[in-house]
Amino acid sequence: MKKLFFSLFLSIASLVAFAQNPIDGSWKGSRETPNGTFEVNYTFKAEGNKLTGTWKTQFGETTLEEGLIDGKKISYSISLNGNKMSYTGEIVSDKEIVLKSERGEMKITKQ
C-alpha cells in the first residue's frame, strides 16, 4: 500500500513539475500602420517569473530581453537595428494577450 501511494505521489509531482505554462508556445498578431499591416510572430517560454522567447517580423528576428511575468501581466523589451523598444501586456486568456508599446496596442492569439 505504501508503494502505491509513493508511486502515485511521484506521478503527480512529475506532472506538476513538467506542466506547461499557458503562455508557452507560438503567438501571432497584426495591426494596421500608415505603411500597411504590421505582422508579428512570437515564441514565448515561461520559467517561473522569467519570460524568454523570440520576436519575428518582416524587419527581422530577435530574442526577448528583460522578460518578466507577474500574474497576468508581462513585460519585455527587444533590440533591433540599434533600437530598443519596451512592451507590456496582459494575458486575457490562454489564447489571447493584449500588448502595448510606444507604437500602440496589439492583440495576439495563440497558434
Q: Are 97 and 74 in contact (CB under 8 A)?
A: yes
Q: Are 56 and 27 in contact (CB under 8 A)?
A: no
Please tell me the pTM assigned to this model.
Answer: 0.76
Asked if the 22-110 domain carries CATH number 2.60.40.650, the reply is no
Report the run of H or E that residue 37 belongs to, with start and end.
Answer: strand 36-47
Q: How confident is the model at residue 11 (pLDDT cuts 50, 70, 90)?
A: low
Query: For the stretch 4-21, what's the b/e string if a residue is b when 16 or more beta carbons lie within 10 angstroms of its beta carbon?
Result: eeeeeeeeeeeeeeeeee
Task: Tell me the average pLDDT across 83-95.
Answer: 93
Residue-averaged pLDDT of the chain: 85
d(CA 84, CA 90): 20
Other Cβ atoms within 10 Å of 64 Cβ, number: 21
- Kindly tell me if the per-residue pLDDT of 19 is higher than 60: no
